[in-house]
Amino acid sequence: MLLRQIFDPRLAQYAYLIGCPATGEAIVIDPERDIDRYIEAAEAEGLRLTAVAETHIHADFLSGARELAMRLGLRVYVSAEGGADWQVEWAKDHPDATLLRDGDSFRVGNIELRAVHTPGHTPEHLSYLVTDHGGGATGPMGLVTGDFVFVGDLGRPDLLEQAAGMVGVQEASARALYGSVPAFLELEDHLQVWPGHGAGSSCGKALGAVPTTTVGYERRHNAALDAARAGEDAFVEAILADQPEPPLYFARMKALNRSGPQVLGDLPRPHRVALQEIGALVSDPDVVIVDTRTPRSAFMARHLPGSLQAPLDRAFNTVVGSLVEDATRPILLVVEADRVEDAVRDLVRIGYDAYAGFVDEDLLEDWFSEGGASQVIQEIDTAQMGELSELEGHRVVDVRSGAEYRAGHVSGAVHAPYTRLPRLEERIPRDQTLLVHCGTGKRSAAAASYLAGRGYDVRFVDDSWSLWAASGRPVETGAPAETHAAGTTA
């Protein structure tokens, strides 16, 4: 048996290529939408993709299962569990789709995959026990766990409520997750665990950075599994506590993955715009300008008016997915020419397919040097935030998570987690100067650029919250009256 873990560092997502060298057949589990990577990985191993499977309806990326099925005619394996509302609609029309229930199995060459219903993260969630009959095994060697078991954590059961707006379901989901735990703990210690995400994913709160683990190790060291030993009620309280606010785009991913993402085909290829095009694009209200330059200070000092500051790093998808709600608007990328494809791949994985072109740094400097329109956001540090916050007409805006805010915040600060900011604008005063801060300046840079683009008077706090906490200035704890518990509903 051949197994390759294919990692997307931006979304901390793992897909799995599993192949049978004897027959040359292979399956990919939980692929993202730009499928050329999986085709190339299979070909490099002398394999051909014959099937695709999913563990569940994903919230953090657009699945590539439909793309593979429609373009290559692959066999499709998805869940039949969870009830009528949790069926993958597009698969019903695919001529070679199998809807799996708990205990069902299928083969790819000499590799057997057996579905295990593990609800909690979602009602239909499946894990897959993998047995290599070609190697002479009579029992499984590992479990593809999707968003059920991670290294050090379990998949969060609150996303249907906090991201998809299904009010009142998170406790029931947490109890379902508790009910799935025994099936995992009954497995033998030696079984490998192949999770759907690693550290940095928003699908859990304490994921480890190690790519794989074993049942035995998780039995001993997984804090979420350990909480289950205290009983169902204690587990529910622990698993729901302090989950991070999910990005706004999660709700859209859920809906599209259920109905079927649009078939992408080739990757979009934005053109390098001409200098004379920039003015019209900047003034076009439908165009979204996404500036990927990494130095925050360079962006704040001068950028195209209305630009969103979104460095091409691990938070890129989260920033754009949270702060650009309308995925149909064309995006003008400010990005170096050799990073355009990276940016496009990241964006099509969360459903942004329309592009107005790209501007590299040289062209941007040409635009500014010829007197083209620009915008500046003033930077301040923590000490200046303290001084200004005491003046009339100034208000601190804290864009950290609910858990961070409750642990300590500036007195009177507006709490608006940046991943939910477009839905929280009613909290933010338009008649005051906003002092926007987070823990280190990274999240507040994105939030400040969003608010400045919306016409607010903004000061960006590029400093560490720990300096405020150590300065002796007043720190309040607890949640503000206008804040929902961890994660406002969509």
pLDDT higher than 50, residue 484: no
> pLDDT tens digits for 245-291?
999 999 999 999 999 999 999 999 999 999 999 999 999 999 999 99
The stretch 174-183 carries a mean pLDDT of 97
What would the pLDDT profile of 223-245 be if each residue is shown by its tens digit?
Answer: 999 999 999 999 999 999 999 89
73 has pLDDT over 50: yes
The chain-wide mean pLDDT, for the chain, equals 95
Tell me the CATH number for domain 378-470: 3.40.250.10
CATH placement of domain 2-259: 3.60.15.10
Residue 426 confidence (pLDDT) above 50:
yes
Q: Which helix (DSSP H) or strand (DSSP E) does residue 8 occupy?
A: strand 2-8
pLDDT in the model for residue 202: 87
Model confidence at 481: pLDDT above 60: no
pTM: 0.94
Sheet holding 378-380, edge to edge: 378-380, 458-461, 433-437, 394-398, 414-415
* Domain 275-369 shares a fold with domain 378-470: yes
Q: Per-residue pLDDT averaged across 88-108, rounded?
A: 96
Is domain 275-369 annotated with CATH 3.40.50.140? no
DSSP codes of every residue in 327-365: TTS-EEEE--GGGHHHHHHHHHTTT---EEEEE-HHHHH
User: Residue 159: which of 144, 145, 182, 176 has the closest Cα?
Assistant: 176
Determine the Cα angle at 153 with ends 150 and 155, to 5°: 70
Q: What is the dihedral of CA 236, 154, 486, 79, to 10 degrees?
A: -90
Name the residue ranges covered by the structural domains of the chain.
2-259, 275-369, 378-470
Per the CB < 8 A criterion, the answer to whether 296 and 384 are in contact is no
